[in-house]
């Protein structure tokens, strides 16, 4: 692997080490806090890269949460950090805070029909180019505990996730679940594999005392509900 000078500008680093390229290639979860912050900063100062500046900020504040409870005086000692960059950081922290608020409100939401789940998931699933499975985990009052990704790929590839879904439901102490996946073709007609998956999931749920309330197929602006069509009892 190519070596780099830590103090050199990020543009001179090997491509695999650059935070932005690393994020695109491996996903945001693969980056450290300093690397994520460096992407926001974009540039550093003379002799210091954006990652050097980001590391200094993280060393001072420790966590993003601590960083959010600051005023301008606490930022004055960082070279290369002007009002515009501080505003970008504060905006990103506020987005994160509001995201957590949205999650908290989501946890209070009660599911009463297939349309509730379709309305919730369709905006993020209708335009996906591959099949993605999501599971809505519910408590005994049909209020949402969590919405998790189960698998990516076709139903054939996803068959082994039945065990994983039920196992996760037990970990969440969920009383019921609703499974959903998208059809990139936009057709909501269930395939034979969709039907087989639903049968196996329902059977596993009954065995482990986890109610499988529905399996929803999401298309482009429409959905198919196995429960509404009488395929789940």
Q: Which tens digit of pLDDT belongs to each residue from 121-137? A: 888 888 888 888 899 99
Q: How far apart are CA 228 and CA 233, in angstroms?
A: 10
Q: Are residues 81 and 41 in the same domain?
A: yes
Q: What is residue 58's predicted lDDT score, i.e. its pLDDT?
A: 94
Q: Are residues 35 and 129 in the same domain?
A: no
DSSP 74-118: GGTT-TT--HHHHHHHHHHHHHHHHHHHHHHHHHTPBP-SHHHHH
Asked if residue 214 belongs to a domain, the reply is yes
Q: Are residues 133 and 209 in the same domain?
A: yes
Asked if residue 2 belongs to a domain, the reply is no
Q: Are residues 213 and 142 in the same domain?
A: yes
Q: What CATH number is associated with residue 121?
A: 3.40.140.10
47: confidence class by pLDDT, cuts 50, 70, 90: confident
Q: How far apart are CA 62 and CA 122, in angstroms?
A: 37
For the chain, percent of residues with pLDDT exceeding 90: 45
Q: Are residues 154 and 220 in the same domain?
A: yes
Residue where one domain finishes, among candidates 51, 74, 106: 106
pLDDT at residue 199 greater than cutoff 90? yes
CB 86 within 8 A of CB 45: no
Task: Kindly list the distances between the CA atom of residue 27 and the CA atoms of 11, 23, 92, in Å, as whole numbers in the listed order.
Answer: 20, 5, 18
Residue where one domain finishes, among candidates 55, 77, 106: 106
pLDDT at residue 69 greater than cutoff 90? no
CB 20 within 8 A of CB 29: no
Q: Which two tokens stand for residue 169?
A: 């439901």
Q: Are residues 33 and 100 in the same domain?
A: yes
What is the length of the chain?
Answer: 233
Task: Give the phi and the psi of residue 146 in degrees, each rounded to 5.
Answer: -165, 150
Lowest mean pLDDT among 90-94, 101-105, 156-160, 209-213: 156-160
What is the reported pTM? 0.58
Domain containing residue 52: 10-106
Q: Are residues 184 and 118 in the same domain?
A: yes
18: confidence class by pLDDT, cuts 50, 70, 90: confident
6: confidence class by pLDDT, cuts 50, 70, 90: very low
Q: Are residues 90 and 151 in the same domain?
A: no
Residue where one domain finishes, among candidates 106, 128, 145: 106
Q: Are residues 217 and 137 in the same domain?
A: yes
Q: Are residues 154 and 90 in the same domain?
A: no
Q: Are residues 90 and 175 in the same domain?
A: no
Asked if residue 3 belongs to a domain, the reply is no
Domains in the chain: how many in total?
2
Mean pLDDT of 144-159: 70
Task: Give the phi and the psi of residue 212 in degrees, each rounded to 5.
Answer: -95, 100
Sign of the dihedral through C-alpha 66, 67, 72, 74 = positive
Asked if residue 233 belongs to a domain, the reply is no
Q: Are residues 101 and 130 in the same domain?
A: no
> What's the half-sphere exposure (Cβ side, CA atoms, 13 Å) at 203?
6
């Amino acid at each position: 692997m190519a070596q780099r000078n830590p103090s050199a500008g990020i543009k001179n680093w090997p491509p695999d080490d650059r935070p932005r390229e690393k994020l695109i290639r491996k996903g945001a979860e693969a980056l450290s806090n300093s690397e994520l912050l460096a992407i926001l900063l974009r540039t550093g100062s003379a002799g210091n890269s954006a990652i050097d500046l980001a590391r200094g900020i993280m060393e001072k504040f420790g966590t993003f949460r601590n960083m959010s409870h600051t005023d301008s005086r606490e930022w004055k000692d960082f070279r290369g950090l002007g009002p515009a960059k501080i505003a970008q950081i504060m905006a990103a922290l506020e987005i994160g805070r509001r995201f957590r608020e949205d999650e908290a409100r989501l946890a209070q939401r009660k599911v009463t029909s297939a349309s509730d789940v379709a309305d919730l998931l369709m905006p993020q699933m209708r335009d996906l180019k591959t099949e993605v499975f999501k599971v809505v985990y519910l408590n005994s009052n049909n209020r949402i505990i969590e919405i998790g990704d189960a698998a990516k790929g076709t139903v054939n590839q996803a068959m082994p996730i039945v065990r994983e879904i039920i196992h996760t439901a037990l970990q969440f102490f969920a009383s019921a679940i609703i499974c959903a996946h998208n059809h990139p073709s936009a057709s909501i007609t269930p395939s034979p594999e969709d039907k087989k998956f639903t049968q196996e999931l329902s059977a596993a749920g009954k065995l482990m005392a986890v109610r499988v309330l529905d399996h929803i197929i999401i298309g482009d602006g429409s959905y198919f509900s196995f429960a509404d069509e009488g395929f789940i009892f």
